[in-house]
Each structure stands twice: as C-alpha cells, then as structure tokens.
C-alpha cells in the first residue's frame, strides 16, 4: 500500500519574506503511524519543494491545510481523483475537524472530525483490508436505500490522554537548515498538549478536541526533544503552562536532562505576572522566547474578547521579561471598526513599552466559531484565502485604503528591531548564497 501525505499552503503578503518556516508537523505524526504500520508513504509540501513522487500510484492521499486552504483542498481533491482513479482521498487537520461538512464533496472519500491518530490507523487498516467497517470520528460516503450517495456523519471522538506517538523527524533532519522563527534558525516544532482550557471568544483553538484540554506530559516532551538535533524547540502548545505546578514540573524534568535546550513557547500574560518569581528559573531552563497574546492595550476590548487579562499589567509584564532576558513576541489584534485614534493608541503602546517584536492581526471570524456564524451575513467575502488575518473580511469604519495604511504603518516600526534586521540580513545572505550555488 502507498499513501501520499500532502499539506496545502496558501501564499500571503508575508510569504515574500517567510519569517517563520516550519516542517508540517501534523504530517510527520501521520508518517510515524504509517511507518509503524510498515506502509510506504511520501510527504509533499510546496514550502519545501516536495512533490508527489512520479511513477508511484497511491492507494490513499491525505490532504490537510488551514482555513485559508479550504477551496484549494477541494480543488486538489478533484485533480487527484482524475489523476489517480480509485485512490481514496482523505481530508483531515484542525480546520477539517471543526468544519467537516465543508469537505463533503464527491471527490473526497473520508473526512476526519477527530485529530486522533488511532482513528487514522484504523482508517488506513480498513482501506488496506478493503473492509466496510466504519471508523469512529470519520465521515464517509455510502449508498442509501434508493441507491443515492449520502454522507455518513460520525460523532466526534475526543482524545482524553496523549497518544504518545512522536512525529517522524526525517523531514526536519533534511530541511532543518531552512526552518526559522525570525532570527532563530534550525527550529523544530514540538507538540505536547491538545486544545486549550481558556475561553477567549474569538479563538478557534479552544474548539479543538471537542473543547477538551489534554495536558502535556513534560517527561515525554523532553525525552522527545533530547532525540532531535535542533538549535531551538518551538513548543506550539496553546499554553505551555496553565499553573505554577506545570512550570515547576517542567523545570524539574529539564534539570534532569543532560542536554541544554533553547525553547520558544506560548504563555498567557496573567501567568507571567502571577509567577514572576520563577521567570529567571525558566530562563535558565532554556525558555528563551515567550509568545504572548496581548491582543489590545484597551481593557474594554479585552473584556469583549473574554480574555480575562488586564491591559494595565502589560507594561509590568513586558519589563519582567526584559529583566529576565527572555525575548517576547507580542500578539495584537485590531478590529475592523478601529478609528485612527485606536491605531494610534496601539502604536503608542508598542512604542512606549519598547516592544521589539510583535504581530498584528485583523480580527477575523474563523469558520466554525460562533463569531463566524453570527457575522456570516455581514461578511464582505467568504473566500477562505482572505481569512488570513491580513485582509478585511468585515466592513471597516475607516475607508479601506486608510485602514490598510494604518494597519501596515504600525508594522514599519518592526524595522527598528535588531532581531528583525538580523533576520533580513540572513535572508539576503541566504539569497546571495543560493545565487553562488547556481
């Protein structure tokens, strides 16, 4: 049996610079399952120039991609069905899990409502055995009593504890020199937890795994990191620690390891303030960069988002990180109804607090969230590619050109950042290196 695993990526304004380049870790997880089953498989990902191998005819193709790739996944299924008649086309991934009905197409055979890898194993076994048994968490097509094709909708099967399957790292080993988080190179992704225990109103992540949060096992995470030859480890768990005990357990496991790690992770602002005394210890344990969703310097907006953090504390949190020598990526969101003064306030906040690295997103309802449903009728577009947090999909209060001018205008300050400049220089030297090779 042969399986192709394909990630569909959509280009955005930032694709010109590719400030963040990572391996498609979800496909590396699926590869680990297939390797374990002894099944020949190939990953394709345009970001790394990996195409489907010529001369191989797959029995199944897995397609994955984020919200922006919804149409492209459907188009790719049409292309693959005509290229490989009889091949089973499978759609899965975080966007598919929450929006399975969008993938009920005549060109797709199986749609995953679950992220469970044991369900993937079950489906592949079923395809290999040509069995008609159904798999929990997977929608499939069948014939009804009148002979018409209908979709069987499965229930969502939730993960209650980590499956303990470590992703295959062959792809990372081959392309590690291409991976980056801004100026940090050779960056491996690590995933420990599933879902998020918080309830920020705009957020898609809290919907994953049926809203159930499965904690990270730090021992297993560090054991995995010990086997990876990377300079940095970007732990993509939505929150690296939910409480002090998590952090203490993490520190303890790291101390027992013979290796030194450089780690990038997500933490909430309230955690940093509450546990400020252990920040230097975390820095010693290798936590070099923290990504924080500040979202807005206005408490009124934070309240709207049910963020449960206090913007009045943000300046202190930023100082605490600086004192502990921990890099910060601050995440902000602007609302479509922002006035010039709101943009100015955000700019002032970034400037006054000397925030070096930040990203700004346009508040965008993601398909599958309650916000999307309630705003659906007023959306300017439903083209998935525009839902990349860089486009207005809701009517702005300001004229569109002015909105975009202010939105991109705030980004210009990023050029002051030493880290960003270092990243641009490395890009340029990379380019000249490539030319030399040609």
CA dist., res. 370 & res. 130, Å (int): 39
Helix (H) and strand (E) counts for the chain?
Answer: 15, 16
CA dist., res. 149 & res. 336, Å (int): 42
CA dist., res. 191 & res. 64, Å (int): 17
Among positions 352-371, residues that touch ligand B12 (CB under 6 A) are 366
Q: How far is the CB of 242 from ligand B12 (least distance, A)?
A: 14
* DSSP code for 166: P
* Helix or strand (DSSP H, E) at 22: none
Q: Does 94 bind ligand B12 (CB under 6 A)?
A: yes
Q: 105 near 77, Cβ under 8 Å? A: yes
Choose the stretch contacting ligand B12; rule: CB under 6 A; options: 90-98, 222-230, 276-284, 329-337.
Answer: 90-98
Choose the stretch contacting ligand SF4; rule: CB under 6 A; options: 105-113, 198-206, 365-373, 415-423.
Answer: 198-206
Which CB sits closer to ligand B12, 246 or 320?
246
Q: Does 168 bind ligand B12 (CB under 6 A)?
A: no
Which CB sits closer to ligand B12, 95 or 268?
95
SS3 319: helix
Among 205, 214, 379, 390, binds ligand SF4 (CB under 6 A): 205
Nearest-CB residue to ligand B12? 92
Q: How far is the CB of 201 from ligand B12 (least distance, A)?
A: 13
Choose the stretch contacting ligand SF4; rule: CB under 6 A; options: 51-59, 129-137, 203-211, 400-408.
Answer: 203-211
Report the DSSP beta bridge partners of residue 151: 141
Among 98, 203, 321, 350, binds ligand SF4 (CB under 6 A): 203
Q: Does 140 bind ligand B12 (CB under 6 A)?
A: no
Among 65, 265, 286, 293, binds ligand SF4 (CB under 6 A): 293
Q: 14 near 47, Cβ under 8 Å? A: no
Among 68, 80, 187, 196, binds ligand SF4 (CB under 6 A): 196
In this structure, the dihedral spanned by the alpha carbons of residues 224, 225, 230 and 232, taken in order and rounded to 10 degrees, is 140
CA dist., res. 201 & res. 305, Å (int): 5
Among 64, 87, 179, 329, binds ligand B12 (CB under 6 A): 64
CA dist., res. 179 & res. 155, Å (int): 37
Q: Residues 6 or more apart from 397 whose CB is under 8 A from it?
A: 336, 337, 338, 339
Backbone dihedral angles phi then psi of residue 183, each to the nearest 5 degrees: -80, -5
Q: How far is the CB of 1 from ligand B12 (least distance, A)?
A: 16
205 to 244: interface string for ligand B12, x by CB under 6 A: x------------------------------x-x------
Q: Does 206 bind ligand SF4 (CB under 6 A)?
A: yes
Among positions 220-259, residues that touch ligand SF4 (CB under 6 A) are 238-239
Q: How far is the CB of 25 from ligand B12 (least distance, A)?
A: 4
Q: Residues 6 or more apart from 194 whose CB is under 8 A from it?
A: 115, 159, 162, 208, 209, 212, 213, 214
Q: How far is the CB of 256 from ligand B12 (least distance, A)?
A: 25
CA dist., res. 140 & res. 192, Å (int): 30
Q: 190 near 172, Cβ under 8 Å? A: no
Report the DSSP beta bridge partners of residue 361: 333
Backbone dihedral angles phi then psi of residue 38, each to the nearest 5 degrees: 75, 30
Q: Does 80 bind ligand SF4 (CB under 6 A)?
A: no
Which CB sits closer to ligand SF4, 182 or 302?
302
Q: What share of the chain is helix, strand, coil (3-state, %, to 5)?
A: 45, 20, 40
Residues near ligand B12, by CB under 6 A: 9-10, 20, 22, 24-26, 29-30, 62, 64-69, 90, 92-95, 112, 115, 117, 120, 189, 191, 204-205, 236, 238, 366, 388-389
Applying CB under 6 A, the residues found at the interface with ligand SF4 are: 196, 198-200, 203, 205-206, 238-239, 268, 293
């Amino acid at each position: 049996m042969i399986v192709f695993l394909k990630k569909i990526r959509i280009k955005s304004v930032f694709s010109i610079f590719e400030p963040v380049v990572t391996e498609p870790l979800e496909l590396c997880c699926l590869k680990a399952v297939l390797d374990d089953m002894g099944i020949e498989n190939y990953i394709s990902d345009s970001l790394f120039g990996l195409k489907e191998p010529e001369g191989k005819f797959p029995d199944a193709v897995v397609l994955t991609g984020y919200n922006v790739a919804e149409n492209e996944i459907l188009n790719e299924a049409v292309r693959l069905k005509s290229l490989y008649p009889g091949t089973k086309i499978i759609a899965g991934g975080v966007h598919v899990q929450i929006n399975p009905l969008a993938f009920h197409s005549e060109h797709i055979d199986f749609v995953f409502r679950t992220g469970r890898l044991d369900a993937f194993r079950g489906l592949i076994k079923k395809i290999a055995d040509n069995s008609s048994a159904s798999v929990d968490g997977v929608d499939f097509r069948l014939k009804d009593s009148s002979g018409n094709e209908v979709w069987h909708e499965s229930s969502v099967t939730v993960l209650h504890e980590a499956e303990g399957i470590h992703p295959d790292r062959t792809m990372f080993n081959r392309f590690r020199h291409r991976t980056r988080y801004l100026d940090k190179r050779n960056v491996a992704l690590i995933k420990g937890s599933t879902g998020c225990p918080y309830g920020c109103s705009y957020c898609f992540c809290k919907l994953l795994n049926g809203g159930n949060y499965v904690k990270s096992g730090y021992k297993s995470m560090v054991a995995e990191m010990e086997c990876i030859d990377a300079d940095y480890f970007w732990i993509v768990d939505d929150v690296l620690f939910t409480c002090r005990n998590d952090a203490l357990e993490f520190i303890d496991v790291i101390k027992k390891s013979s290796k030194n790690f450089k780690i990038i992770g997500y933490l909430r602002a309230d955690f940093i303030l509450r546990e400020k005394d252990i920040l230097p210890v975390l820095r010693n344990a290798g936590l070099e960069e923290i990504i924080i969703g500040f979202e807005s310097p206005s408490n009124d907006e934070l309240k709207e988002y049910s963020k449960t953090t206090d913007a009045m504390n943000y300046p202190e949190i930023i100082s605490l990180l600086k004192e502990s020598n921990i890099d910060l990526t601050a995440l902000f969101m602007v609302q479509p109804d922002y006035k010039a003064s709101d943009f100015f306030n955000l700019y002032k906040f970034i400037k006054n607090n000397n925030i070096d690295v930040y990203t700004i997103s346009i508040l965008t309802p993601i398909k599958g969230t309650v916000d999307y449903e309630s705003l659906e009728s007023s959306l300017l577009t439903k083209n998935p590619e525009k839902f990349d947090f860089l486009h207005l999909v809701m009517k702005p209060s300001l004229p569109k050109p002015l909105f975009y001018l202010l939105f991109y205008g705030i980004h210009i300050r990023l050029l002051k950042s030493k880290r960003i400049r270092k990243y641009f220089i490395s890009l340029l030297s990379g380019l000249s290196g490539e030319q030399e090779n040609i």
